[in-house]
């Protein structure tokens, strides 16, 4: 009998944990597992703001995929998925390769939502991937160098569009990282302006008032200029235009106004809702028994009206259930219903402050920042045990990450 072929697309949070769980659950020779990802490294998306400002070494947040998987159990292919032929059970890669599957997991993540705002796609920088975050860092250093030539203040104005969790994490990082970058470039940090733009009345508007107050005060201490209740109308290479004729001359606009599913899923011939792949309570694509989907590219309804948010927490809880349900399907066993347990949310504002909610408890300050570190360390522990935590945190591997694939 031929072995079933399991194919996992994407080695982000959802994909890598699904493959690692399959390594544990499958018996020797029970199935062939293949993991495909654009790059040969898995990046810690929740820390990309640090890559954007250069406050962390590349190797801390980009980990070699071959080092994470057991090559005797999982075959890794570095390649970019271009489309899926659901009827013939084939995945096409850029460059022409085709891979067959019996069971498919789509875990291709997210891309930024620009809401069609003119110029945002072309002129604003996205915190989307390791590569796009590295592009922010290179752009910032380029602006610092150019400022020395033309003294144009717009080169020292850094705008973060969107004051949600990702936005405040980016603002905190800029506030902590730019002084060092300025001193490396012999530019007085006093000349730098960091601006936050948010359409709602406050940053993190979905949080309790005390958390909003703490965040606003912390950003104020960092001298971040906060502009709220203003919608962005346009981004150009030199400025950002806001409602009521407000213009901010700025050559760096970092976009964090929301995310949507990776639009590649539109090429899969699967039914989509709100641009995402709708999945049932077993994490299978609706009306299919051999196609599963996890993480940000999927739509899981928690009740009739609302879906689970696009977070690492959701992807990480879905992945083990997805792996288990694939194995159960192969063995003809009963499938497990996915139940989401919200464990809380914490956002850092630089290294020494954070804000969040864990259960009913509000977190802030140094303790919040400590908890954020604990959450990240726990993920690394699950991924590669204590050895990986030591390696990543003490930067044992200093080899630079090779970025070769355009994203």
The Cα 71–Cα 63 span in angstroms is 15
The reply to whether 45 sits near ligand FAD by the rule CB under 6 A is yes
Active site residues: 169
Beta carbons of 40 and 13 less than 8 angstroms apart? no
Which of 34, 313, 317, 324 is close enough to bind ligand FAD by CB under 6 A? Answer: 313
CB of 38 or CB of 251, closer to ligand FAD: 38
User: Rounded to the nearest whole angstrom, what is the least distance from the CB of residue 81 to ligand FAD in the complex?
Assistant: 4
| Positions 114 through 153 that interact with ligand FAD (CB under 6 A) | 127, 129
Which of 25, 57, 77, 80 is close enough to bind ligand FAD by CB under 6 A? Answer: 80
First to last CA, the chain: 40
Which of 8, 11, 250, 279 is close enough to bind ligand FAD by CB under 6 A? Answer: 11
The reply to whether 110 sits near ligand FAD by the rule CB under 6 A is yes
Which of 31, 104, 107, 380 is close enough to bind ligand FAD by CB under 6 A? Answer: 107
Beta carbons of 42 and 11 less than 8 angstroms apart? yes
Which of 20, 161, 296, 401 is close enough to bind ligand FAD by CB under 6 A? Answer: 296
Detail the DSSP E strand segments found in 294-406.
298-299, 345-348, 354-358, 361-364
Stretch that binds ligand FAD, among 24-32, 36-44, 327-335, 360-368 (CB under 6 A): 36-44
User: Rounded to the nearest whole angstrom, what is the least distance from the CB of residue 1 to ligand FAD in the complex?
Assistant: 30
The reply to whether 13 sits near ligand FAD by the rule CB under 6 A is yes
The count of other CB atoms within 10 Å of the CB of residue 206 is: 10
The reply to whether 76 sits near ligand FAD by the rule CB under 6 A is no
User: Rounded to the nearest whole angstrom, what is the least distance from the CB of residue 228 to ligand FAD in the complex?
Assistant: 21
The reply to whether 69 sits near ligand FAD by the rule CB under 6 A is no
CB of 187 or CB of 317, closer to ligand FAD: 317
Which of 19, 46, 317, 329 is close enough to bind ligand FAD by CB under 6 A? Answer: 46
Q: How far is CA 154 from the centre of its chain?
A: 28
The reply to whether 91 sits near ligand FAD by the rule CB under 6 A is no
The Cα 285–Cα 368 span in angstroms is 37
The DSSP code for 343 is: -
The Cα 157–Cα 134 span in angstroms is 19
Coil/strand/helix, residue 356: strand
CB of 86 or CB of 233, closer to ligand FAD: 86
Interface pattern 253-292 for ligand FAD (x via CB under 6 A): ---------x-x----------------------------
Q: Quick one: three-class SS letters along 86-131?
A: CCCCEEEECCCCEEECCEEEECCCEEECCCCCCCHHHHCEECCCHH
User: Rounded to the nearest whole angstrom, what is the least distance from the CB of residue 170 to ligand FAD in the complex?
Assistant: 7
The DSSP code for 276 is: B
Coil/strand/helix, residue 163: coil
CB of 161 or CB of 187, closer to ligand FAD: 161
The reply to whether 308 sits near ligand FAD by the rule CB under 6 A is no
Which of 77, 233, 272, 312 is close enough to bind ligand FAD by CB under 6 A? Answer: 312
The Cα 123–Cα 352 span in angstroms is 31
> What are the beta bridge partners of residue 225?
195
Element (H, E) at 305: none
Q: In what order do the strands lie in the sheet with 81-85?
A: 81-85, 90-93, 98-100
Q: How far is CA 69 from the centre of its chain?
A: 21
The reply to whether 167 sits near ligand FAD by the rule CB under 6 A is no
CB of 60 or CB of 166, closer to ligand FAD: 166
The reply to whether 311 sits near ligand FAD by the rule CB under 6 A is yes
Ramachandran assignment for 322, one of left (phi > 0), alpha (psi -120 to 50 degrees), beta (any other):
alpha
**What are the distances in angstroms from CA 11 to CA 48, 50, 71, 319, 380?**
16, 20, 15, 11, 14
Which of 295, 320, 368, 384 is close enough to bind ligand FAD by CB under 6 A? Answer: 295
Q: Which residues bind ligand FAD (CB under 6 A)?
A: 10-15, 36-39, 45-46, 48-49, 80-81, 107-110, 127, 129, 166, 169, 262, 264, 295-296, 310-313, 315
């Amino acid at each position: 009998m031929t072995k079933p072929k399991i194919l996992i697309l994407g080695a982000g949070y959802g994909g890598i944990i699904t493959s690692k769980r399959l390594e544990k659950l499958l018996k020797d020779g029970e199935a062939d597992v293949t993991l495909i990802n654009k790059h040969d490294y898995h990046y810690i998306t929740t820390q990309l703001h640090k890559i954007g400002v250069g406050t962390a070494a590349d190797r801390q947040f980009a980990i070699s995929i071959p080092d994470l998987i057991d090559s005797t159990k999982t075959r890794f292919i570095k390649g970019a998925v271009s489309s899926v032929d659901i009827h013939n059970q084939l995945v096409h890669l850029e460059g022409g390769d085709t891979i067959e599957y019996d069971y498919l997991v789509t875990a291709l993540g997210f891309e930024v939502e620009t809401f069609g705002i003119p110029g945002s796609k072309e002129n604003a920088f996205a915190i989307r991937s390791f590569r796009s975050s590295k592009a922010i860092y290179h752009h910032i250093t380029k602006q610092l160098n150019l400022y020395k030539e033309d003294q144009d203040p717009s080169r020292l104005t850094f705008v973060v569009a969107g004051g949600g969790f990702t936005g405040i994490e980016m603002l905190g990082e800029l506030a902590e990282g730019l002084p060092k970058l300025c001193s490396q470039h012999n530019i007085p940090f006093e000349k730098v302006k960091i601006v936050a733009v948010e359409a709602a009345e406050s940053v993190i508007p979905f949080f309790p008032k005390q958390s909003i107050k703490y965040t606003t005060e912390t950003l104020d201490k960092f001298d971040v200029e906060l502009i709220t209740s203003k919608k962005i109308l346009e981004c150009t290479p030199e400025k950002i235009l806001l409602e009521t004729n407000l213009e901010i001359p700025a050559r760096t606009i970092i976009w964090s106004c929301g995310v949507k599913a990776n639009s590649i899923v539109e090429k899969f011939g699967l039914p989509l809702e709100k641009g995402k792949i709708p999945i049932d309570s077993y994490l299978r694509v609706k009306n299919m028994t051999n196609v599963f989907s996890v993480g940000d590219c999927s739509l899981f309804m928690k009740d009739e009206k609302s879906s689970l948010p696009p977070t690492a927490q959701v992807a990480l809880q879905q992945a083990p259930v997805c792996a288990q349900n694939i194995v159960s399907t192969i063995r003809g066993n009963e499938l497990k219903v996915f139940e989401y347990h919200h464990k809380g949310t914490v956002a850092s504002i630089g290294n020494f402050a954070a804000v969040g909610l864990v259960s009913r408890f509000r977190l802030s300050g140094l303790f919040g920042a400590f908890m954020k570190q604990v959450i990240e360390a726990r993920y690394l522990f699950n991924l590669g045990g204590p050895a990986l935590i030591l390696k990543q945190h003490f930067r044992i591997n200093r080899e630079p990450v090779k970025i070769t694939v355009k994203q």
